[in-house]
Structure 1
Amino acid sequence: MPYIFLGLLVLFSITTIVLSAVALGILINRIDSRDTEKSPDNNGSLSFADQIKIDDLMHHLEQLQVIADQSNGTRAIGTRGFDGTLDYITEQLEQNTNLIVRHEYFTLKNCAVQGTPQLQSQINGFIEDHIHLTDFAHIIFTAAANFDSFVRLVSIPNLGCQNSDWMNVSVTDSIALVKRGVCTFPEKTQLAEKYRAKGLLMYNDGTASDRFQAVRYVRSHLNATIPGYFLSYNLGMKFVNAAINSSTNASIKMIIDVRDAEIGNICADTPTGNKTATIVIGAHSDGVLDGSGINDDGSGSVGILVLALNLARLLSTSSLNYAQLLYRIRFCWWGAEEVGLLGSIYHVEQASLSSATIESGRLQDYLVYFNYDMIASPNSNFGILDSISIPPGTSNKTLPGTDRITNLFQQWFDEQKLPWTRSGIGGGSDFVPFLTGGIASGGVNTGAGGFKSSTERDRYAELLGTGNAGLANVPYDSCYHQQCDRITNVNPFAYGKIVKAAAYAIEYVGRLNDLENWLYPEGRVKHVNPFNRKHVYDIHHDPDLF
């Protein structure tokens, strides 16, 4: 009997140990499962890139489409669509994050056309009305006009780029007619003002198939004092023939209402991280008048919005155990990019002033700038910005950091077995004022109006398959600056990859112990106050000025 009892006791003990081991194993498995779910990289921290979901990106992009549709199909500055875009971004940030949101505003003169401009010509007594956007378009930043009578038309010889062209004719209180070419539209406008023209008509030159129409996005210098229209080649030549014929009386009447517009930038900062060592991520919030601007640059605006929402959640949710970043992260949405990078230029100007504060942003506290402009083009490539071309005036001290950012993106795309293409950082988007302000810069885009070559398509097909490689000899974005740049004009596959790459880059540089030395091994540029706007932008890279 004692032996039976002893045997039962041993059996009970063994059973208890086994059950305990099983229970412990179940608990360990649950802990492992929990930790694996939260820490896919097995180092105790979530991956920022893994938080990016294409459904989130498309949801916010669809909201921008709604905003554009409620504003006659546009999100351009001076419209309800632009203001609605800023309101939506602000609302998302303030309601869903603890980021510190700031706005800055500036006024642009003569940039918002009200109603339909009018142009009438009178040639030998015959009066003709000309069609807005077919025969002529407003030159952005030129003044309003309400002529109560016809004004004499004078054709300026040559191309109106030299003082002598204007001195050889009597243009005072007349309408000057000037052909496109050689010098910039602002330079022609300034000469017209100098010689006291009452108005200015510039016309296309007909030198290529795309240089016959009345171009809508031609712009002059800021604060122009005379009205200006840009004419189609055919109408321009008709006016030239009338103006140079001494037996013909040619005169013009211009009526246009142009208003000033308040332009807003938005910046949102993480509350943690070194404020005197800031990483800036930017995209532009405005579109063009022709179209909803969903790829250009709704895709970038939404891309960095989703980055901001997810990073704020990771940093503020203690249970996620997300490792904090060492530096302040600043997300910015620039206004008026489409009319000359004016929002980002304004911000860099203000940041360079002695009155700038750590909170508002001082240029000396900015370590690096990432730019995302057009990141969902339907015939996408993965264009990594690099220093194969740089804006004039860029200090060589910014190049090592710019190249390291380029290499960082190349490394990520290589690791993901994704193709990539070199994309010059020479001009055309909001990285320009940062580069010329001495800030290393980088980013990724998916192409604009350029064409994808068969070589590039074949190279992409090797890694992506033919379904995601795109089409050869077709623009990256066939709807660039057109009405069809709508929600259907995006490539979700490329879009998701670009935003994940952006998240990876933020996380990588945000955890480098000595980011400044990594970016500027030869030391930083000594900043000069105030920021020199004249050096910010190489006009030869801007087709809207020629």
Structure 2
Amino acid sequence: MRITSRRGAYRVLTVAAALALPLALVPAAAQADPAPNVTQKKLIDSITAPAVKKHLQALQTIADANGGNRAAGTSGHAASRDYVVGKLKKAGYTVTVQPFDFAYFEEKSTALMERTSPNPRVFTPTPPDGSTTGEFATMTYSGSGEVTGTLQNVDLVLPPGPTPSSSNSGCEAADFAGFTAGNIALLQRGTCDFVVKARNAQAAGAAAAIIFNEGQPGRTDTLLGNLGEPVSIPVLGTSFAVGQELASATSVVHLKTDTVSEIRTTHNVIADSKWGDPNKVVMSGAHLDSVPAGPGINDDGSGSAATLAVAEALGKVPTRNKLRFAWWSAEELGLLGSIHYVETLPAADLAKIKLYLNYDMIGSPNYAFKIYDGDDSDAEGAPAGPPGSDEIEKLFEKYFDTLRQGHNGTDFDGRSDYGPFIETGIPAGGLFTGAEGIKTAEEAALFGGTAGEPYDPCYHQACDTIVNISDKALALNTGAIATATVVYGFTSDLPGPDTRAAATTKRAATSTGADLQGRSKG
């Protein structure tokens, strides 16, 4: 997608002031069907940034009272869920709290790894909050424990050349023939899922496992791996250099992990308006869970709070189409809540969802105004969304163009909760202000801020608090969310084909796979 020019500075930070021209965005069909006794513009103008900030402060207060986070499966998420449910019921919605089980993981303190012989040395850890990357890291869903043992190499590929061929170390039980129970298995990335390697090591009697990166180009850094499901032994990931060093001699290693890894229950929150055509559902969503490392006020309190403010304003407004809002759980562990919802919804009900709008991180402090590239106009990265996604993109583009605010595109790369919807053929779109990615010089010229720095320097960290929010980005994006919801709530001309068969393809959870090096999203 092209980057539009920035034609003027925008300084007003309330949605009401920002939306001087929102009706210019509304299709003729939508303008012909205003809510009784209130214009669509007044509806949009009634949704203000202070209302969103009030919800953000509530989420911050919840995190503060619950160990500093709102992660799925914790008291902080349960309190966030209850807060949202209470607001929705008061606004007049039919609310469903949808339970599902998931694999919970938390690293409670920084892991330890040291070689005690030969040549003793302590390796540098990656802390639980991911603020820096060390020489090793605890794999997601690792077991907890303290072990001292002899390292035993398992089918490694370490030729003298700089580019080893692909490894299948630990992928087969036969790889552990002759393994000494109580030793620590030294494994290499490649071919099969990390959890296969870890479970094979566990079955062979390994007290712990260390999996190092493969060594091919792009696969040398510290392995930030995700096992996808709990295992009982400690499992660490390291860089290729550390793995090669450990493999070069018979080493004795002392390691310690401090984790919680178990099956827990969490909940999605789904709110249905009492108005509108039940066969034409306009759905919007954001994820309510944070990572365990912090309160998640930008990621994704920002999307959750803005979606809640929009829902509150429209709860008692008779729209043409049915409005549905969702607050997903366990997104941070691989879109688990939205996957569960899509996979368990009957095909006939899934076909009634005419579009899905996703809002994940809309207030990044070093923001860019990014719109999901529904038509793949940049011809790079992920392909276009399902038919109708291009129309959603154009509506958001028109919103920012009307305000003379630059914008650019972002791929449907599967990193957020639109993923399960586009895989079923549902048109989708949404907004994003950037995560751990680095702002380009071109973007700094377009949006301001600092080139060469992350869009959100507190991404997945304890500092993702109420102060980690750009008021301007939050206000403008809230206006865009309000505009899209109102437009699609009233229009008789929804994006995409009139009929669409529900796809049967089920999305596999993205938290597994040999190539998954930790889940980050946009």
TM-score range, shorter chain: 0.7 to 0.9
- Aligned residue number for residue 233 of structure 2: 227
- Aligned residue number for residue 286 of structure 2: 283
Relative to structure 1, the CA distance from residue 118 to residue 86 in structure 2 (aligned partners, 3 Å threshold; closer, same or farther) is: farther
Relative to structure 1, the CA distance from residue 325 to residue 249 in structure 2 (aligned partners, 3 Å threshold; closer, same or farther) is: closer
Structure 1 residues 270-349: aligned runs within 5 Å: 270-313=273-316, 315=317, 324-349=318-343
CA distance in 2, matches of 1:533, 1:511: 31
Relative to structure 1, the CA distance from residue 213 to residue 368 in structure 2 (aligned partners, 3 Å threshold; closer, same or farther) is: same
- Aligned residue number for residue 390 of structure 2: 403
Relative to structure 1, the CA distance from residue 363 to residue 390 in structure 2 (aligned partners, 3 Å threshold; closer, same or farther) is: farther
Relative to structure 1, the CA distance from residue 538 to residue 327 in structure 2 (aligned partners, 3 Å threshold; closer, same or farther) is: farther
CA distance in 1, matches of 2:121, 2:401: 65
Aligned partners of 1:57 and 1:306 also within 8 Å: yes
CA distance in 2, matches of 1:57, 1:400: 32
- Aligned residue number for residue 510 of structure 1: 489
- Aligned residue number for residue 532 of structure 1: 506
* Residues 204-225 of structure 1: CA deviation (Å, up to 9, x unaligned): 679999976685xx32123x44
Relative to structure 1, the CA distance from residue 421 to residue 186 in structure 2 (aligned partners, 3 Å threshold; closer, same or farther) is: farther
CA distance in 2, matches of 1:104, 1:253: 37
- Aligned residue number for residue 471 of structure 2: 492
Relative to structure 1, the CA distance from residue 349 to residue 381 in structure 2 (aligned partners, 3 Å threshold; closer, same or farther) is: same
- Aligned residue number for residue 369 of structure 2: 382
Structure 1 residues 196-207: aligned runs within 5 Å: 197=206, 199-203=208-212
CA distance in 1, matches of 2:506, 2:416: 18
The Cα shift of 1:408 comes to 1.1
Q: Which amino acid aligns with 2:355?
A: V
- Aligned residue number for residue 75 of structure 1: 70
Q: 2:271 aligns with which of 268, 273, 287?
A: 268
Report the secondary structure of 1:104's partner residue.
strand
Aligned partners of 2:289 and 2:329 also within 8 Å: yes
Report the secondary structure of 2:518's partner residue.
helix
Relative to structure 1, the CA distance from residue 152 to residue 102 in structure 2 (aligned partners, 3 Å threshold; closer, same or farther) is: same
Q: Which amino acid aligns with 2:433?
A: T
Relative to structure 1, the CA distance from residue 204 to residue 75 in structure 2 (aligned partners, 3 Å threshold; closer, same or farther) is: farther
The Cα shift of 1:487 comes to 0.9
- Aligned residue number for residue 415 of structure 1: 402
Aligned partners of 2:227 and 2:512 also within 8 Å: no
Aligned partners of 1:220 and 1:545 also within 8 Å: no
Report the secondary structure of 1:534's partner residue.
coil
Report the secondary structure of 1:219's partner residue.
coil
CA distance in 2, matches of 1:541, 1:252: 24
CA distance in 2, matches of 1:40, 1:257: 51
Higher RCO (Cα < 8 Å, 6 or more apart) = 2
Aligned partners of 1:450 and 1:475 also within 8 Å: yes
Q: Which amino acid aligns with 2:227?
A: S
The Cα shift of 1:366 comes to 1.1
CA distance in 2, matches of 1:102, 1:249: 53
Report the secondary structure of 1:498's partner residue.
helix
Which structure: larger Rg? 1
Residue 476, structure 1, aligned to residue 455, structure 2? yes
Report the secondary structure of 1:442's partner residue.
strand
Q: Which runs of 5+ in 2 are unaligned?
A: 1-21, 25-30, 128-133, 158-165
Report the secondary structure of 1:408's partner residue.
helix
- Aligned residue number for residue 48 of structure 2: 53
- TM-score under structure 1 length normalisation: 0.74
- Aligned residue number for residue 99 of structure 2: 105
CA distance in 2, matches of 1:253, 1:481: 23
- Aligned residue number for residue 15 of structure 2: none
* Residues 451-503 of structure 1: CA deviation (Å, up to 9, x unaligned): 2222223234xxxxxxxx32333322121122221111111111111111111
Aligned partners of 2:281 and 2:321 also within 8 Å: yes
Number of residue-to-residue matches in the alignment:
468
* Residues 404-439 of structure 1: CA deviation (Å, up to 9, x unaligned): 101111112112222111111122100001100221
% identical aligned pairs: 29
CA distance in 2, matches of 1:272, 1:295: 31
Structure with a larger share of its residues in helix: 1
- Aligned residue number for residue 184 of structure 2: 175
Q: Which amino acid aligns with 1:139?
A: M
The Cα shift of 1:198 comes to 5.2
Relative to structure 1, the CA distance from residue 81 to residue 456 in structure 2 (aligned partners, 3 Å threshold; closer, same or farther) is: same
Aligned partners of 1:375 and 1:446 also within 8 Å: yes
Q: 1:154 aligns with which of 147, 152, 155?
A: 152
Relative to structure 1, the CA distance from residue 208 to residue 536 in structure 2 (aligned partners, 3 Å threshold; closer, same or farther) is: closer
- Aligned residue number for residue 249 of structure 2: 245
Relative to structure 1, the CA distance from residue 384 to residue 376 in structure 2 (aligned partners, 3 Å threshold; closer, same or farther) is: same
Report the secondary structure of 1:448's partner residue.
coil
CA distance in 2, matches of 1:391, 1:197: 41
- Aligned residue number for residue 6 of structure 2: none
- Aligned residue number for residue 11 of structure 2: none
The Cα shift of 1:279 comes to 1.2
Aligned partners of 1:139 and 1:220 also within 8 Å: yes
- TM-score under structure 2 length normalisation: 0.77
* Residues 298-320 of structure 1: CA deviation (Å, up to 9, x unaligned): 1011010101111114x1xxxxx
Q: Which amino acid aligns with 1:534?
A: A
CA distance in 1, matches of 2:479, 2:94: 23
